[in-house]
Structure 1
């Protein structure tokens, strides 16, 4: 089962079936997914001890209900084909990858796959075309095939695996450290070549969050300001980071239109994929996109899915048993802590990018969420003393959280519109 999951992840990221002539047109990805799911069912590895499993299924249901509510009964079948594989992947990874060893192997595979895409971008930047046959973008930004044909998507992938590569570097021997250091430098150069402002901010947030955890908020703030200044020197697009700049202004307008869609369709939204039916430009914000397309019901569930995952990895970091009175438990926690911090940083970087991108349904996002969920399920068994999260006890808190965040979005958009004006 686990090897098939790894193969599926490789095919999802590297996507050779989309540029190798002998594989084009063959249902390689669906076949591997079916085989992996069949092996998962046969293995009995179905410990659904986290609220994310129920929440994701409920969100999947809301996507289909939203389609029907907006007059398209065929949308049920459409969502089964589009989001169904994401749900299966989440369930398989979150239940199969609960041990440190499996999580580290999956992280290593993801880092190496992302490095391959970064190397493709480096070659593309030098020669004008990559080995996939995909040329450099007209604006000089690198791109890949399939779900990574947008430079911003590439940047989000690189940011998401960057903390994972750092963990692997820390744990490796001398030769391994050289290898993972090479991957890290390649990924960071790949972020530079995407020229994605969201990805650059994501890297800054990952580093800033790590410094905050180790040295405190003041040091993180000072270094963050310095890092932002350096990024503005390295990227012309970062120099245009202003609400009045044309690209940024278009995004703010899209956020505004998304909020208007929510106001006109508050319960189930305008339907998945229908944002551009109401506005020529996509939302460029994953939170606004979910709110506009699935309404308040879908937004609460999506926010809860994310919120519980952040809460879980943060709970591991906050636990810190007493080394004097509980030496065995402290030793177990000390082993789990670096991975918890890594996953927290990956989540921070990924959702920093997602705030500026419409990637609410992208599979890579759910793979990282699944890894964090599986890690917590396993860590709770290995350490003991970690809370047992459940919708019954804490599910209602996401309703006021959703209301508060929606109000925050309205305030932010109004401020940005006034600034741009």
Structure 2
């Protein structure tokens, strides 16, 4: 019965998306961020659900473009230019990288599958940039991450209360072990990027029970991060809580976030994440950089870049190339920036950095074009803090395929576009 209901829901969405591709974009991002195929996997067996969302959305996008119903003005900016250049250089690195076709025991990922995944991410990202172009669509799109994170916060805490996890909590995955949140760091990053949304939605809501309800999710999201025992997630949670606090409309409540986070960590942090954090501190004090695994990976990555500065070693080829650039045991890059630099070259890395900086600068610069207390005003801060948390964690986590960053970039692009329009209207 559940599979029939799911199929009917997807069919209705498909027909609606043919005429309104923006709705299909919203459905696609909800599907990709929530991952229902891993939570309720038994309903999705034998059903290619994402394709039933993606295909009619793409067809609807083409038809809407032909009849002039889409606003391409929204993508005429440097932010989108850098984003397109980034994807272009990443795709080129698949065809030009010398290690893409190398097959050895350190081939952590199939480069072709990673290429297909990146193509899917780019297509939906580009359609999202064009389709989410007004306040109404923006508002619906902006609720995707908090809605998905709200359910997964509940899911994570229920695993704790029922005792259905061991040592470190992984995200939902099916019986084969497949799941985008199978990696604890990725699962933790979902909550890191969502916490600012709950905090600023609390300020936006006027009714007290909605405001305090949104704020109440924050400590449970902290607890979900603690359960993953992700050190990167812990740093990210602390950073976004601190940044949200200092950018709070009321400083007293904002600054209360910092001691609240410390209390939550001491009280509910759990032994696993505390032991891993203490282990990190001890290693930092005792070990030299030559034997630090993360620094070994960074050193190897920089050597890959110096040997292949323009093309990189090839998309998803960090592991294959590692033995030729280091005597250490091959490992992942442990840094989004190092991985992009090593695998796709200097142009991809610079494009990515400028793409993200364009998002941050635009949000910071144009937030005050919106009236204080408006949804867009608080959303600017939520996206800004969320991106800052993500980019900080990206220094020491491999997150270049983390789709939420592109979701946040769409929100940033739309907010900047609407703010500029508002600025022009105000000047007249």
Bucket of the pairwise TM-score, normalised by the shorter protein: 0.7 to 0.9
Query: Secondary structure at the residue paired with 1:203?
Result: helix
Quote the residue 1:194 is aligned against.
228
Quote the residue 2:279 is aligned against.
240
CA separation of 1:221 and 1:164: change in aligned 2, threshold 3 A: closer
Quote the residue 1:414 is aligned against.
none
CA contact (8 A) 2:370 2:422 kept: no
Alpha-carbon shift at residue 117 of structure 1 (Å): 1.7
Q: Distance in 1 between matches of 2:81 and 2:357?
A: 14
Quote the residue 1:23 is aligned against.
44
TM-score normalised by structure 1 residue count: 0.77
- Residues 1:338 and 2:378 aligned together: yes
Number of corresponding residues: 367
CA contact (8 A) 2:82 2:354 kept: yes
1:358-385 C-alpha deviation (Å, 9 max, x unpaired): 1112211111111111111112112339
Quote the residue 1:140 is aligned against.
168
**Structure 1 gap segments, 5+ residues each:** 130-135, 321-329, 387-421
Moved more, 109-118 or 99-108: 99-108
Quote the residue 2:11 is aligned against.
none
CA contact (8 A) 2:33 2:148 kept: yes
2:198 to 159, 165, 190: 165
CA RMSD of aligned residues (A): 3.4
1:312-342 C-alpha deviation (Å, 9 max, x unpaired): 111114xx5xxxxxxxxx7747744322222
**Structure 2 gap segments, 5+ residues each:** 1-20, 103-109, 174-178, 323-329
1:180 to 206, 214, 218: 214
Quote the residue 1:55 is aligned against.
82
Query: Secondary structure at the residue paired with 1:350?
Result: helix
Q: Distance in 2 between matches of 1:283 and 1:159?
A: 21
Q: Distance in 2 between matches of 1:370 and 1:282?
A: 28
TM-score normalised by structure 2 residue count: 0.75
Q: Distance in 2 between matches of 1:168 and 1:222?
A: 17
- Residues 1:64 and 2:91 aligned together: yes
Query: Secondary structure at the residue paired with 1:282?
Result: coil
CA contact (8 A) 2:115 2:315 kept: no
Quote the residue 1:295 is aligned against.
345
Quote the residue 2:71 is aligned against.
45
Alpha-carbon shift at residue 226 of structure 1 (Å): 10
Quote the residue 1:90 is aligned against.
125
